[in-house]
Every structure is written in structure tokens, then in C-alpha cells.
Amino acid sequence: MSGWEQLSQYVMSGLTTGSIYALAALGFCLIYNATHIVNFAQGDFISLGGLMMYTLLGAAGLPALLALPLAVAVVAGLGVMLEALAIRRAKSRDLTVLIFITVAASALFRGVFKEIWGKQALAVPPLSPDVPLRFLGATLTPQNLWILAITLAAIAVLIYFFNHTLTGRAVRAVAINPKAAALMGIDTRRMVRLSFALAGGLGALAGAIITPITTASYHVGVMMGLKGFAAAVLGGYGNFLGAIVGGLTLGLLESLGAGALSSAYKDVIAFVVLLLVLFIRPRGLLGRGEEARV
Amino acid sequence: MLSVQSVDYSYGPVKALREVSLTVGPGEIVSLLGANGAGKTTLLSVISGLLAPARGQVLLGGQVLSGRKTSLVVEAGLVQVPEGRQVFGPLSVEENLQLGAYCRRGRQHRQQVSRDFEQVYHLFPPLARRRRQPAGTLSGGEQQMVAMGRALMAAPKVLLLDEPSLGLAPLVTREIFDIIKKLPEQGCSVLLVEQNALGALSVAHRGYVLTNGSIRFSGSAAEILGDRQLREAFLGPERFEGSTGNKP
């Protein structure tokens, strides 16, 4: 394999995992913007997305075109439940308490997943038959392309939603200034619930498209969720574009780092770069710090 | 039209409002005056449904609004322009106005809403020039116009204005008050909360003076201005029309 082909291979694989980190990071941003809490159950949304695909595609034999939206809907529902049953009902409005509720919810989810799906790794069928393709010197599976395409499509839908629909703008208004939004008659609770649903849906999407490569298990999303969190911090926490840039950067760093040194160091390389970036730019790559007071 | 009846509100053990009653009739501009901490903003929050009164009620055209969600209060036609403008800074002027019409998002309102856009741009010409600009980059006076325009997009029957002149230069304050004076012609009554008492009374028909959570005095603008004791005790002799009304 030539150097060019190797580089191309690392870049493609970095973009693939980076896409997953970006989707997870977007989930973190959505919930943070709506509520200012860090949702540590984001990784479990990813796990459930993969597990649902295992059941719906493999066991129930549904076509992918049906299984994927169904998996997304189920996990979006779990997101709404997390908000309605745990976050909303908490007696305390203290952010630390609310964040810990998500940590507890994450442990609970993992326990339930383990009861239902067991401990073993489960093979999830890919979205289309596994025929290796050559692309710019790299060898890819169709699943790699699915991941890139579905991530791009999800980002395009989000951009449209937040910039060109009234409901999307209302979600942004609640994030910018909840009191002023309420005074305009916007139901802030509904927008928060919608943010949890979207975060769940994005997590499910990430899990559904990556597990044909990694296999599914009750805890497969945990590490991906943490990397998504790191990606969100890298990009500037709460910034959507930052989440995407942060996710892809982290994926590329891991992949190129593993190629240049050893795959044993891939997590270390990624996190060292994350620390360096945060030393130089504590707000993250695209973070603007506090929204200008008006 | 708007009728506040014997409203009480407490923050824990601290009574913020005691037996507050006031009315705003159709086509009226009514000013609510009082020093910092008198309870003006608390009263507006109760009227807007952000806070539920411990006792008493708020009615609009006979319909009880107290204790209901803010979204229902807005739909009923009672809209507040909060203190400090609180525009959605990163969103464009047009997006801010569009969110003001959130309560009229149904298809059946579409024509009326687009007419109201033109109406607001007519009332606030600087906004028409800055439609696409992020609202947070506008000057203080222009942001006040965005905040008022945004509220007018909800087609309110009564507009609640909390300190619209706060932090504005005298000339800009004059401009804002001139626009407030025109609102009754648009079918919108106004409850104007101000520390800049002389400025407020120059546009208001009537006024109430709130001290320590109770209405101390009510009467026509001329009566309040004519009462020497009121002037000195509540309005402050040093305040002149068009002063900035900045909080100390």
C-alpha cells in the first residue's frame, strides 16, 4: 500500500468515526442549549439505537427503511421520558443535581439494556450488502458511505429546522433567552422536550449506523458518548457548528494518530490534542464564550 | 379591558404586592410609577402569568387570566415588553419579529401577520433597514424598537411596557415615547411602567403610583404632576422630561 493510499484510508476512517462523534456532540449541544445541563445518558441513546437496529433488522426482519426511523423514534421517546419523568420532576433546579440525574439514568439504562439484550456483542446487519469499494485510494465498505451520507443528511435537516422553521427558531429563542421566549407565548417546556427528543433521535441515528461496523452491545455507546462530549468541548460547548467540526477533528486525530504511532495510543493522542486546544482556546475552536449581553 | 383585582404576591416571607388593583381601558395609556423595588416588575410578571398571584385575579375583557400559562395570556392579547429589551441577539430583526407572532402561527393568520410586519416596519422605520441584521448588533434605541415591534406582532389588546426608556439617550427616549403615544390608534392600550415619571406622564392619560407594593395614589396625569408631595416623594424633584431614567 502506498503512503497516499494509507493516508486516504486513515482520513476516510477518521471521517467515519468523526461523523458519529459529531452526531453525539450535537445531541449534547441540543440539551445543553435548552437546559444548561450535560446529559450523560447521551451515550446510552447511541447504545439503544444500535440495539434497536439489531432487534428490528435482525430478529424482526424489517427492511432498513422501516427499522431506521423506528429505532430513531423509540430513542427519541426515551429522551422525552428522561426529561418528563426525571429532569422535570426533580425537586431541585440545581444544575449539579440535574446532571447527576442523567448519570443515574445512564446507569439505569445500561442495566435495563443488559437485562433485555444480554452482555454479548451482537452483530447488526449493514444497511446494504458488504461489497468493498475503492475510493480515492482507500478501501471502503458501503456502510462507511452510509454513515457519511446519513450524517450529512441529518446535519442538513437540522440546519433547515433551526434556520427556516418557526419551531426551530422558537427552540433557539428559548436557548437564547427563556424568559423573553415565554413572554412571546412560546411554550418553553415543549421546546425543552423537543430538544431531548432530537438529542435522542441523533443518538439513535449514530448508534444505528455505526453498530454494523462495531457490533452492538448494552454499553457500546458509552465511550462514543464520552468522545462526543469531548468533541462538543473541543468545538465550543453548545455551538452546533463547533460540534460538527469538533467531532470530525477528533475522529481524524484518532485515526491519523493511530496510523502515525500505534493504535494503542489513539485515545491518548486525541485527548492530548483536546487538552492542548483547550489550553490555548478555553472556549473551544468555535466557542464565542458568553452571548453578548443586550 | 385589563383589570387587576386585589392582587397579593409574596417572595417567601416578603410581601411584594398588597391588594393591588388597577384598570386599563380601551385606547388608554396608563402609567405605573414608583421607585426601584416598589413592586412594579413583580406586578407585570403577575399580569403576564410568569408569577401566579397569592390572592386576587387578573382579567382581560372579562376573561380570568391569572394562574394560566403565559402562552395563553399572550394568545388572549396581553403582551409584555420586558425591562432591558431582551431581544434574541443572535437572531435577525425579522426573525425576532416573526417569533413575536408565534401565538399566531396557524395558516389562518398568515395574511394578517404579513400585514402586521409591514405595519411594524412602518411604525419603526430603522428596523425596516436592518431586517437581516442580528438584533444584538443594533443600538439600544433600535433594540427597544425590536422588543416593542416583536410584542406588537402578537397583536396585543394591551401592551405592557417595562421601563422602555432605560439606558437610552434623551433624544431616543423622546422618539420611543412618541411611538408609544401612537399605539392606541392601532387598537392597543398601554400599561407603561417607568422610573422616568415625567416622560411617562407626558404620554399617559392616567397614572398609578406604587410604593412598597401598594397603590398609593391614582389619578389623571395632570393630577399626579400637580401634586407637589407626590412629585417630591415618588417622582423626585430632580427628574425632568426626557431624562435617561437610568437605575442608580
pLDDT score, position A129: 85
Query: Residue B243 domain-assigned?
Result: no
Share of residues in chain B with pLDDT > 70 (%): 93
* A-proximal residues of B, 36-95, CB under 8 Å: 48, 50, 69-71, 73-75, 79-80, 82, 84-91, 95
Q: Do A184 and B99 touch (CB under 8 A)?
A: yes
Range from A111-115, A126-130, A210-214 carrying the lowest mean pLDDT: A126-130
Task: Name residue A217's amino acid.
Answer: S
| Per-residue pLDDT band at B186 (split at 50, 70, 90) | confident
Q: Do B48 and A183 touch (CB under 8 A)?
A: yes
SS3 state of residue A138: strand
Q: Are strands B2-11 and B63-64 parallel, antiparallel or unpaired?
A: unpaired
| Per-residue pLDDT band at A289 (split at 50, 70, 90) | low
SS3 state of residue A37: coil
| Per-residue pLDDT band at A280 (split at 50, 70, 90) | confident
Place of cell 411611538: B179
Query: Residue B248 domain-assigned?
Result: no
Q: What's chain B look like in SS3?
A: CEEEEEEEEEECCEEEEEEEEEEECCCCEEEEECCCCCCHHHHHHHHHCCCCCCEEEEEECCEECCCCCHHHHHHHCEEEECCCCCCCCCCEHHHHHHHHHHHHCCHHHHHHHHHHHHHHHHHCHHHHHCCCCEHHHCCHHHHHHHHHHHHHCCCCCEEEEECCCCCCCHHHHHHHHHHHHHHHHHCCEEEEEECCHHHHHHHCCEEEEEECCEEEEEEEHHHHHHCHHHHHHHHCCCCCCCCCCCCC
**Mean pLDDT estimate for chain A:** 91
pLDDT score, position A108: 97
Residues composing chain A: 294
pLDDT score, position B175: 92
Packing angle of the helix pair A188-214, A3-35 (nearest 10 deg): 160
Comparing CB atoms, the residue among B74, B89, B95 nearest residue A291 is: B89
- Residue (of A269, A246, A239, A247) closest to A257 by Cα position: A269
Query: d(Cα B5, Cα B28) in Å, to the nearest integer?
Result: 18
Mean pLDDT (whole number) for A68-82 = 97
Place of cell 422558537: A170
Mean pLDDT (whole number) for A40-49 = 97
Where in the sequence is the domain holding B127, given as residue range(s)? 2-235
**Domain A3-280 = CATH 1.10.3470:** yes
Comparing CB atoms, the residue among A177, A184, A292 nearest residue B154 is: A184
- Residue (of B40, B43, B45, B41) closest to B234 by Cα position: B40
User: Which residue in chain B is spatially nearest to A180 when comparing CA positions?
Assistant: B86
Residue A291 pLDDT greater than 50, yes or no: no
Which CA distances in Å does A52 have to A39, A91, A121, A149, A252?
21, 32, 14, 21, 28
| Per-residue pLDDT band at B246 (split at 50, 70, 90) | very low
pLDDT score, position B133: 96
A134: part of which helix (H) or strand (E)? strand A133-135
Place of cell 502506498: A2
Distance, in angstroms, between B102 CA and closest chain A CA?
Answer: 7
Query: Residue B244 domain-assigned?
Result: no
Residues composing chain B: 248
Q: Do A180 and B89 touch (CB under 8 A)?
A: no
Count the Cβ atoms, other than its own, within 10 Å of residue A3: 8
pLDDT score, position A28: 97
- Residue (of A229, A254, A255, A252) closest to A242 by Cα position: A229
Q: Do A184 and B74 touch (CB under 8 A)?
A: yes
| Per-residue pLDDT band at A1 (split at 50, 70, 90) | low
Residues of B in contact with A294 (CB under 8 A): 84-87, 89, 135-136, 143
| Beta carbons of B8 and B164 less than 8 angstroms apart | no
Q: Do B103 and A184 touch (CB under 8 A)?
A: yes
Distance, in angstroms, between A148 CA and closest chain B CA?
Answer: 30
Comparing CB atoms, the residue among A169, A183, A292 nearest residue B91 is: A169
DSSP conformational letter for A293: P
Residue A5 pLDDT greater than 90, yes or no: no
Residues in A lying within 8 Å of B, measured between beta carbons: 166, 169-170, 172-173, 176-177, 179-187, 291-292, 294
Which CA distances in Å does A149 have to A58, A154, A156, A205?
23, 9, 10, 12
Comparing CB atoms, the residue among A176, A185, A292 nearest residue B70 is: A185
The residue among A183, A241, A293 with the most chain B CBs within 10 A of its CB, best to mutate, is A183
Comparing CB atoms, the residue among A187, A291, A294 nearest residue B143 is: A294
pLDDT score, position A31: 96
**Mean pLDDT estimate for chain B:** 89
CATH of the domain at B219: 3.40.50.300
- Residue (of A242, A181, A59, A173) closest to B92 by Cα position: A173
Domains of chain B: total: 1
Place of cell 453525539: A24
Residues of A in contact with B99 (CB under 8 A): 166, 169-170, 173, 181, 184, 186
Count the Cβ atoms, other than its own, within 10 Å of residue B121: 18
Mean pLDDT (whole number) for B93-113 = 93
Q: Taking the C-alpha atoms of A110, A116, A119 and A124 in order, what is their torsion angle to the nearest 10 degrees?
A: -100
Mean pLDDT (whole number) for B55-60 = 94
User: Which residue in chain A is spatially nearest to B68 when comparing CA positions?
Assistant: A185
Comparing CB atoms, the residue among B89, B95, B100 nearest residue A292 is: B89
Query: Residue B228 domain-assigned?
Result: yes
pLDDT score, position B224: 85
pLDDT score, position A215: 94
Distance, in angstroms, between B75 CA and closest chain A CA?
Answer: 7
Comparing CB atoms, the residue among B69, B95, B154 nearest residue A169 is: B95
Residue B211 pLDDT greater than 70, yes or no: yes
Q: Do A180 and B88 touch (CB under 8 A)?
A: yes
Mean pLDDT (whole number) for A78-83 = 97
Residues of B in contact with A179 (CB under 8 A): 50, 82, 86
Range from A19-23, A38-42, A154-158, B46-50 carrying the lowest mean pLDDT: B46-50
Share of residues in chain A with pLDDT > 90 (%): 73
Residues of A in contact with B75 (CB under 8 A): 185
- The per-residue pLDDT for range A100-120, each reduced to its tens digit, is 999 999 999 999 999 999 999
> ipTM of this model?
0.87
Mean pLDDT (whole number) for B40-49 = 93
Count the Cβ atoms, other than its own, within 10 Å of residue B161: 28
Residue A263 pLDDT greater than 80, yes or no: no
Q: Does the CA dihedral A170-A201-A289-B130 come out positive or negative?
A: negative
Mean pLDDT (whole number) for A29-56 = 96
Residue B233 pLDDT greater than 70, yes or no: no
Comparing CB atoms, the residue among B70, B84, B143 nearest residue A182 is: B70
- The per-residue pLDDT for range A149-205, each reduced to its tens digit, is 999 999 999 999 999 999 999 999 999 999 999 999 999 999 999 999 999 999 999
| Beta carbons of A221 and A47 less than 8 angstroms apart | yes
Mean pLDDT (whole number) for A46-65 = 93
Per-residue cell: A41: 445518558
Per-residue cell: B234: 415618588
Residues of B in contact with A170 (CB under 8 A): 99, 102
